[in-house]
């Protein structure tokens, strides 16, 4: 393709016997240079427009209606859906759960990933095997992971409660206790994503020049000190990236808690672990199929993700910078 | 470069070919609509759980060589239901024949424009094949449109663990057991004896919520909704009575407190954690035998349900209006809900026929279950639906029961909150969801 772009102007520059074709091919060549780049990136934007932007905007439109799918009711209600939503205690309960599970999973996950990456960044035998090994949980199907963990954390016949029982600890009500359920779900998320983040960190760490570490060792800096004052500050952009990605992913958490509750969209007897995405699904796709209400909720979730992503961005940037001094 | 170019060309050719092929299919489809002969028609049948239609479909295809049936099993009802709603609204995606559970059926009767009127295809002649209530449930209030033909009914019985009964010193013979539990009060009393024997670790009943459906279905004509579809769950005394009875049993330690349809519930079968469970016909082979496993074969037996008879669950086959082949789809639905279809499904999944001739047929009537100690399932379930009174469930019954009332009742059962608080919460939520 690139050769074609390169050759056309040369053809155009060749001395032609007649003027008209020469001009035409000259014009074609100019169009090629001016417009081709847009043409090449167009597929992404067209696809994004059709499957990304349009649904997003249409969701805004739908959120202004009392829109029930099954009966076909569609009535303009303005911002009524949003007003009801702000008073909906189940919505705020779901938001509380989502934020709780997010914090409980992401903080240990990223710290563990950092440490893991640092370990993998050393000289060792079968390095590639270990590096690839840490992402295996990530390529496992979420649903399968969810089912297995739901069994491990089952209330009565689960592995964890059985293990606790052998050392004389009373079984934990993994689904009735809100914080126990958060912990179990966060555990599931971390199991899947720690290795993935570790690999991203590892990639960034390998770009750090080795001589920095050499001179630090000469100055007598401990491995721990080197980690905090060289490695972490230098991979800061990568850390920011993972924080943002984790925020987006964490706020949309759906399959893990759903599987954890044996497929019940309610997320526990009293919605102990119903996340926002689950509540959106419950309203939008079960019962009356309230598309309008579900759309309004989706938009509020979108806003929350942006706000939290920005807060996290600021927090991490500041704290990592502080280490540098 | 040349390789890339060649590949591109191949892709282009393939794309073109696909386009032509699709266009061709579209044409041939419209030809079929015009009633062309000779072309093979492909029907999509969508069901949930286990309708037991594998053999019946083979028989149907053998009898109709021009029709090919693709049976899509869509998992649990709760997975299938939202998808179906979307497909119906979108106008494409739903099968030519779909399974509807009675708990959600009325929702579709209310929005019947999404379905073909089976009376237009001659379903009227089938009316006498079904119990009147089964037929009427799928009929619009004005009686002019029928959206579904009955598949199974959930005749009710009481499944019990013979071996555990013996250990506790209770009678084990099914006739004897049936006599000892003629009413629900007797049943609870026997449970107290079972526990008082002190010889068994197992609980009496799997969960407090198990008692709710059978009890209400036996003792009330309505459940959570009155016949105008207004929520009356909070004022229906029978619902409250069942709630109290169930939780009373839980408070006395008679229930295993297993959350129905959870992994713990599944494991509780295998671990012999409870001795009795009210079982609709579809639950015997399809649920209890599967979960208890071969190790417990011959330990279960079946007695009659306290309170005499009753129905729990059961489904219908309907034809979405978006189908391209309503005539063939009707043929399929008609066959599957005929005596032959019903008996094949019974053989495969234990689904009890709603077809009257099917219930009377020796293949059903004389059926005994090996897994359940040779219990005459045909006779027990057949008798249980004989004196059946129809119960009006309401359009949102399944939603109210499965996502609101049952979880709250389970929370109360596990002692998370008091019975009174859970009741209040459940009723408030139900009112909100149905307003």
pLDDT digits (tens, 9 = 90+) for A88-98: 999 999 999 99
- Give yes or no for a contact between B391 and B222, defined as CB atoms under 8 angstroms apart: yes
Instruction: Report yes or no on B144 lying in a domain.
Output: yes
A45/A190 same-domain check? no
Residues A134 and A14 in one domain: no
Instruction: Assess whether B237 and B158 both reside in one domain.
Output: yes
Q: Does any domain span residue A74?
A: no
Contact across the interface for B403 and A287, Cβ inside 8 Å: yes
Q: Which domain holds residue B81?
A: 43-153+314-360
pLDDT at residue A319 in the model = 77
Per DSSP, what are the bridge partners of residue B303?
B158
Domain count, chain A: 2
- CB neighbourhood size of A22 (10 A): 16
- Same-domain pairing of B259 and B179: yes
In a domain, residue A164? The reply is yes
A210 within some domain:
yes
C-beta of residue B182 within 8 angstroms of C-beta of residue B233: no
Helical H segments across chain A, by residue range: 2-13, 19-48, 54-62, 80-86, 89-120, 127-133, 136-139, 142-152, 159-166, 178-205, 210-218, 223-226, 232-234, 236-251, 255-260, 276-285, 291-324
Same domain? For A184 and A41 the reply is no
Same domain, A28 and A103: no
B123-126 own/partner pairs: CB under 8 Å, 24+ apart: B123/B149, B123/B330, B123/B334, B126/B334, B126/B337
Share above pLDDT 70 across residues of chain A, in percent, rounded to a whole number: 91
Q: How many domains is chain B built from?
A: 2
Residues B340, B230 share a domain: no
Based on the fold, state whether residues B121 and B182 are members of the same structural domain.
no
Last residue of a domain, one of B331, B360, B389: B360
* A242 found inside a domain: yes
Give the 3-state secondary structure of residue B261.
Answer: coil
Query: How far is Cα of residue A122 from the mean position of the Cα atoms in its chain?
Result: 28
β-bridge partners, A301: none
Q: In angstroms, rounded to a whole number, what is the distance separating the alpha carbons of residues A52 and A46?
A: 9
Kindly identify which residue of chain B lies nearest to residue A68, measuring between CA atoms.
B89
Q: Tell me the pLDDT band of B263, cut-offs 50, 70 and 90.
A: confident
Three-class DSSP labels, B148-170: EEEEEEEEEEEEEEHHHHHHCCC
Residue numbers in A near B410 (CB within 8 A): 269
Which chain B residues are within 8 Å of A267, Cβ to Cβ? none
Instruction: Note whether B323 and B301 are same-domain residues.
Output: no
Within the 383-402 window of chain B, which residues sit less than 8 Å (CB to CB) from chain A? Answer: 396, 399
Give B174's contacts (C-beta < 8 A, 6+ positions apart): B301, B302, B303, B375
Tokens of B132: 């009147």
Q: Does the beta-carbon distance from B79 to A155 stay under 8 Å? A: no
In a domain, B366, yes or no: no
Assigned token pair, B245: 């009875």
Q: Is B251 inside any structural domain?
A: yes
Q: Name the least confident of A66-75, A151-160, B84-93.
A: A66-75
Answer yes or no: pTM beyond 0.95: no
* Structural domain boundaries, residue A264: 80-324
pLDDT > 90 fraction of chain A, expressed in percent and rounded: 57
Same domain, A91 and A221: yes
The reply to whether B236 falls in a domain is yes
Rounded average pLDDT over B290-307: 93
Specify whether A158 is located in the same domain as A263: yes
- Residue A49 within a domain: yes
Average per-residue pLDDT in chain A?
A: 87
Chain B residues with beta carbon closer than 8 angstroms to that of A175: 259
Q: Do B403 and A285 touch (CB under 8 A)?
A: no
Task: Quickly count: other Cβ atoms within 10 Å of residue B385's Cβ.
Answer: 23
- pLDDT for res A4: 44
User: CA–CA separation, B353 vs B138, rounded Å?
Assistant: 16
Interface predicted TM-score (ipTM): 0.72
CA distance A187 to chain B (A): 19
- Cα separation of the two ends of chain B: 65
Q: Does A293 lie in the same domain as A256?
A: yes
Burial state string for B174-203 with b = 16 or more CB within 10 A and e = fewer than 16: beebbebbeebeebbebbeebbeeeebebb
| A263-288 residue pLDDT tens | 888 888 889 999 999 999 998 887 77
**Best residue in B115, B397, B407 for a mutation probing chain A (most A CBs within 10 Å):** B407
Q: Are residues B299 and B430 in the same domain?
A: yes
Based on the fold, state whether residues B189 and B305 are members of the same structural domain: yes
On whether both A113 and A207 belong to a single domain, the answer is yes
Q: Is residue A67 part of a domain?
A: no
Q: Does A178 lie in the same domain as A252?
A: yes
Whether residue B261 sits in one domain with residue B305:
yes
Q: Does A268 lie in the same domain as A155?
A: yes
Does residue A92 share a domain with residue A51? Answer: no
Residues of B in contact with A148 (CB under 8 A): none
The enclosing domain of B242 has a CATH number of: 3.40.190.10
Q: How far from the centroid of its chain's Cα atoms is residue B336's Cα? A: 16
Report how far residue B189's alpha carbon sits from residue B183's, in angstroms, rounded to the nearest whole number.
10
CATH of the domain at A131: 1.10.3720.10
Q: Tell me: pLDDT of B308 over 90.
A: no
Q: How many CB atoms lie within 10 A of CB B169?
A: 13
Q: Is B20 within a domain?
A: no
Residue A75 lies in a domain: no
What 8-state DSSP symbol labels residue A288? T
CA-CA distance, A140 to A143, in Å (whole number)? 9
Q: Least CA distance to A155: which residue of chain B?
A: B264
Best mutation target among A287, A289, A293 (most B Cβ atoms within 10 Å) is: A287
Q: How confident is the model at residue B38 (pLDDT cuts 50, 70, 90)?
A: low
Question: Do B182 and B227 lie in a common domain?
Answer: yes
Return the residue of B nearest to A90 by Cα: B429
Same domain (yes/no): A10, A155: no
Q: Are residues B63 and B185 in the same domain?
A: no
Interchain CB contact of B88 with A (< 8 Å): yes
Residue A116 lies in a domain: yes
Tokens of B289: 């035998």
CB < 8 Å to A278, chain B: none
Measured CB to CB, residues of chain A less than 8 Å from chain B are 3, 69-72, 150-151, 154-158, 173, 175-176, 262-266, 268-270, 282, 285-289
Answer yes or no: is B13 within a domain.
Answer: no
B243 to chain A nearest CA, in Å?
A: 16
Q: Find chain B residues with C-beta within 8 A of A262's C-beta.
A: 259, 261-263
pLDDT at residue A13 is higher than 80: no
Mutation for B interface: A157, A174, A178, A290, most B CBs within 10 A = A157
Same domain, B182 and B300: yes
Q: Is the pLDDT of residue A317 over 50?
A: yes
């Amino acid at each position: 393709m690139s050769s074609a772009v390169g050759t056309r102007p040369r053809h155009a520059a060749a001395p032609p016997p007649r003027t008209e074709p020469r001009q035409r091919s000259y014009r074609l060549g100019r169009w090629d240079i001016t417009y081709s780049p847009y043409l090449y990136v167009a597929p992404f934007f067209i696809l994004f427009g059709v499957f990304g932007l349009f649904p997003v905007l249409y969701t805004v439109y739908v959120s202004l209606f009392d829109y029930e799918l099954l009966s076909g009711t569609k009535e303009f209600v303005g911002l009524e859906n949003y007003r009801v939503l702000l008073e909906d205690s189940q919505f705020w309960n779901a938001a509380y759960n989502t934020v709780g599970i997010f914090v409980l999973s992401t903080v240990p996950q990223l710290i563990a990933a950092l440490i893991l990456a640092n370990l993998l960044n050393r000289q060792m035998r079968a390095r590639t095997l270990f590096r690839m090994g840490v992402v295996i949980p990530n390529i496992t199907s979420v649903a399968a992971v969810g089912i297995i963990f739901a069994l491990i954390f089952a209330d009565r016949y689960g592995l964890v409660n059985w293990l606790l029982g052998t050392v004389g600890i009373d079984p934990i009500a993994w689904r009735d206790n809100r914080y126990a359920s958060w912990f179990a779900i966060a555990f599931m998320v971390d199991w899947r994503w720690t290795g993935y983040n570790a690999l991203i960190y590892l990639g960034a760490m390998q770009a750090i020049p080795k001589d920095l570490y050499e001179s630090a060792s000469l100055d007598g800096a401990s491995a721990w000190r080197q980690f905090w004052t060289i490695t972490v500050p230098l991979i800061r952009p990568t850390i920011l990236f993972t924080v943002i990605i984790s925020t987006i992913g964490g706020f949309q958490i759906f399959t893990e808690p759903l599987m954890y509750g044996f497929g019940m969209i309610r997320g526990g007897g009293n919605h102990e672990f119903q996340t926002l995405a689950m509540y959106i699904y419950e309203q939008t796709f079960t019962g009356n199929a309230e598309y309008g209400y579900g759309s309004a909720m989706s938009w509020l979730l979108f806003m929350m993700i942006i706000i939290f992503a920005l807060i996290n961005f600021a927090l991490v940037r500041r704290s990592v910078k502080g280490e540098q001094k | 470069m040349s390789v890339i170019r060649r590949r591109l060309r191949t892709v282009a050719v393939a794309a073109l070919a696909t386009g032509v092929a699709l266009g061709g299919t579209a044409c041939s489809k419209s030809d079929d609509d015009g009633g062309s002969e000779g072309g093979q028609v492909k029907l999509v049948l969508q069901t949930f759980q286990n309708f037991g239609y594998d053999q019946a479909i083979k028989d149907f295809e053998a009898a109709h060589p021009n029709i090919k049936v693709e049976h899509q099993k869509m998992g649990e009802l709760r997975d299938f239901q939202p998808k179906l709603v979307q497909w119906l609204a979108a106008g494409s995606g739903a099968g030519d024949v779909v399974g509807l559970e009675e708990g959600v059926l009325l929702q579709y009767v209310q929005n019947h424009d999404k379905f073909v009127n089976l009376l237009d295809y001659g379903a009227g002649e089938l009316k006498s094949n079904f119990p009147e209530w089964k037929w009427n449930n799928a009929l619009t209030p004005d009686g002019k449109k029928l959206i579904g033909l009955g598949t199974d009914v959930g005749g009710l019985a009481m499944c019990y663990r013979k071996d555990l009964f013996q250990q506790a010193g209770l009678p084990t013979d099914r006739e004897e057991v049936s006599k000892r539990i003629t009413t629900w009060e007797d049943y609870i009393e026997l449970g107290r004896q079972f526990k008082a024997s002190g010889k068994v670790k197992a609980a009496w009943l799997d969960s407090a919520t198990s008692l709710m459906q059978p009890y209400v279905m036996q003792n009330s004509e309505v459940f959570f909704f009155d016949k105008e579809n207004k929520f009356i769950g909070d004022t229906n005394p029978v619902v409250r009575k069942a709630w109290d009875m169930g939780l009373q049993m839980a408070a006395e330690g008679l229930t295993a407190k297993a959350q129905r349809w959870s992994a713990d519930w599944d494991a509780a079968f295998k671990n012999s954690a409870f001795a009795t469970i009210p079982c609709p016909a579809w639950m015997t082979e399809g649920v209890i035998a599967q979960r208890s496993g071969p190790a417990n074969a011959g330990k279960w037996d079946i007695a009659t349900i306290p309170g005499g008879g009753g129905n729990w669950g059961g489904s219908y086959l309907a034809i979405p209006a978006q189908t391209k082949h309503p005539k063939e789809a009707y043929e399929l639905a008609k066959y599957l809900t005929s005596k032959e279809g019903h008996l094949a499904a019974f053989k495969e999944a234990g689904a009890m026929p709603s077809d009257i001739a099917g219930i009377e047929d020796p293949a059903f009537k004389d059926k005994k279950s090996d897994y359940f100690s040779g219990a005459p399932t045909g006779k027990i379930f057949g008798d249980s639906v004989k004196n059946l009174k129809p119960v009006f469930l309401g359009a949102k019954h399944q939603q109210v029961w499965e996502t609101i009332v049952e979880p709250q009742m389970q929370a109360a059962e596990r002692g998370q909150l008091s019975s009174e608080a859970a009741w209040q919460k459940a009723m408030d939520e139900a009112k909100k969801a149905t307003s």
